Amino acid sequence: MTSQTIANTPTVDQIRRAPKVLLHDHLDGGLRPGTVVDLARETGYTALPATDPDKLALWFHQAADSGSLERYLETFSHTVGVMQTRDALVRVAAECAEDLAEDGVVYAEVRYAPEQHLEGGLSLEEVVEAVNEGFRQGERRAKENGHRIRVGALLTAMRHAARALEIAELANRYRDLGVVGFDIAGAEAGYPPTRHLDAFEYLKRENNHFTIHAGEAFGLPSIWQALQWCGADRLGHGVRIIDDIQVHDDGTVELGRLASYVRDKRIPLELCPSSNLQTGAAASYAEHPIGLLRRLHFRATVNTDNRLMSHTGMSREFEHLVEAFGYTLDDMQWFSVNAMKSAFIPFDERLAMINDVIKPGYAELKSEWLFRQTASTSGSAAAKD
């Protein structure tokens, strides 16, 4: 084993401590099971399938692990059901920031749909302000516990509804107050992104950023529309771009026009391996398209999607990829820098995160083998004496 191999092969502990960047994470998909139980009791929500946190966590994972995006999305009725008060939203957002920071995430963009949190009488503005307050609380608590994280919010419109322009305008009003961009989400089939062209045209006129869920359960037409009709800055998932890539028997690879465009334009792919396995977009981690997309140098990023439903976190996602593809700390750094380059905060802030946080963090991890080796050698010498 060479020093280069030792330096780059990450341990589970190093994966957790490595500075990671998360672009695709749903607030209502990342609640702590105990928090769901607490909030249900406090708000009078009685539809939970279990009230024991451990049993509830297992139910979420099993219900989401169906191979169907539609069934996967049904699990959110319970998390959204307990997120209808200001206090609940503040608590969930604060815990989200704390949990991500504990997992080594230094920058995250967390998305949620304000229109889904109005049943308790809150206005759209009150929802946004509560979530923003929670993120700031979580950032402060993380710092007190020795972790650093910055969280930006993405406001999501539901693609089956008709409030996209209203939510886009909301995102624009709060763009300097904690909201960094816009998204549309929900079942893709039957609800193309072109239904919301007015929202995307508005955001482009306002020089604002947006990503679009595309190429997850639906194929290349969804990606094509998101890019060429709507003008998305990033692709939420985008995993089905693999359908436009042909690997020949001799190992050569041929990219179609759309795949070539996505790679040439450096369009970020918000890939979510564990979630993709649950919704049927990939059969296993080893077969996930991220392996080929990494080799072909697409702007691939690693994400969690829904931490509760997928029983995952950023560290766990990387653990799976390290096992499946033999990824090293260099690969982890590559994915993290890709994600930071693709974030919706200003360029100078992205650059500072890359140069002052991410690269030094990985450099320190990659140097640890040397000190372990030195300590081991010193110990052996002392024993001989």
d(CA 326, CA 331): 9
Active site residue 216: yes
**Cβ atoms within 10 Å, residue 48:** 18
Exposed / middle / buried, residue 194 (Cβ in 10 Å: 0-12, 13-18, 19+): exposed
Query: Is 249 labelled as part of a ligand binding site?
Result: no
Query: Is 44 labelled as part of a ligand binding site?
Result: no
d(CA 143, CA 187): 37
Query: Is 297 labelled as part of a ligand binding site?
Result: no
Q: How many Å is the maximal CA-CA distance in the chain?
A: 78
**Cβ atoms within 10 Å, residue 260:** 13
Query: Is 54 labelled as part of a ligand binding site?
Result: no
For 117, the enclosing helix (H) or strand (E) is none
- In terms of DSSP H, where are the helices of 265-358? 273-279, 290-295, 314-325, 329-341, 347-353
Query: Is 26 labelled as part of a ligand binding site?
Result: yes
In contact, 54 and 96? CB cutoff 8 Å: no
* Distance between start and end Cα atoms, the chain: 28
Query: Is 147 labelled as part of a ligand binding site?
Result: no
The one catalytic residue among 216, 270, 317, 319: 216
In contact, 239 and 215? CB cutoff 8 Å: yes
Residues taking part in catalysis: 216
Q: Which residues are annotated as a binding site for substrate?
A: 26, 28, 186
Q: Which residues are annotated as a binding site?
A: 24, 26, 28, 186, 213, 305
